[in-house]
Amino acid sequence: MKPFIHNDWWPVLEPEFEQDYYQELRKFLVEEYQNYRIDPDMYHIFTAFDWTPFSQVKVVILGQDPYHNPGQAHGCSFSVLPGTKLPPSLVNIYKELQSDVGFQPVQHGYLKRWADQGVLLLNSVLTVRDGAAFSHQGKGWERLTDAAIAKLSERPEPVVFILWGRAARSKIKLIDTQTNIVLQSAHPSPLSAHRGFFGSKPFSKTNIALTSLGETPIDWQLPEHVSVDDAGPQTTPAQSEEN
């Protein structure tokens, strides 16, 4: 199988790509991409893994479903491409950042600077039909991303897992909480942010945890101006498995 993740995540996840469930998921995705608009586009399904190699992950921010409005999702939880209106959940994340660590607000939602520092921006489900939230749940993605979480949990180097909302918190069963650090709160969605997300201070707590582990803290401040840093078209999962 030709690799379609281009770093040390590939040997970690390749056994999953050979499982029957993933073959069924691939068939489902081929049909979906042929017949519907799917977010993100097929070249950016695995952006989270490409941006943050397995050995460099220090923090995981776990999302649930990709953004399902046109042009928002690009393969990383909560992040949107430059020039895209900030989604409400990200607006609330920025509010908490400002309160927690003095974050200076920016007008974009492109979180690559976090990923470059070791923050894995992972959704539990990696694709969605445009305008149809949760339409790709239960198709196999959860098994793949559960495997990724479990593999990170087993690493000798501890990871800080940030779990926002009930769906993310349900993943705690995959994490060895004796060796890793888990921060839990309500989801930053406008529906729940006032029920425990605001004031939870996840960003300063993450840096306190990283410092205690002997790791460099995350600089959460984002640059005021960004451009899309893209090395060009990736190999899609479908293309790889047909070669």
The residues, any chain, with a CB within 8 Å of residue 232's CB and separated by 6 or more, are: none
CA–CA distance, 161 with 62 (Å, rounded to integer): 8
Residues in the chain: 243
Q: Is 39 exposed, middle or buried (0-12, 13-18, 19+ CB in 10 A)?
A: buried
Residue with tokens 């930053």: 188
Catalytic residue among 8, 65, 100, 116: 65
Instruction: Please state whether beta strands 160-164 and 59-63 pair in parallel, antiparallel, or not at all (unpaired).
Output: parallel
6 three-state secondary structure? coil
Residues 40, 127 contacting (CB under 8 angstroms): yes
The residues, any chain, with a CB within 8 Å of residue 46's CB and separated by 6 or more, are: 4, 5, 75, 126, 234, 237
Q: Which helix (H) or strand (E) holds 101?
A: helix 88-101
150 three-state secondary structure? helix
Tokens of 199: 């004031």
CA–CA distance, 238 with 243 (Å, rounded to integer): 9
65 is catalytic: yes
CA–CA distance, 240 with 74 (Å, rounded to integer): 20
Catalytic annotation, residues: 65
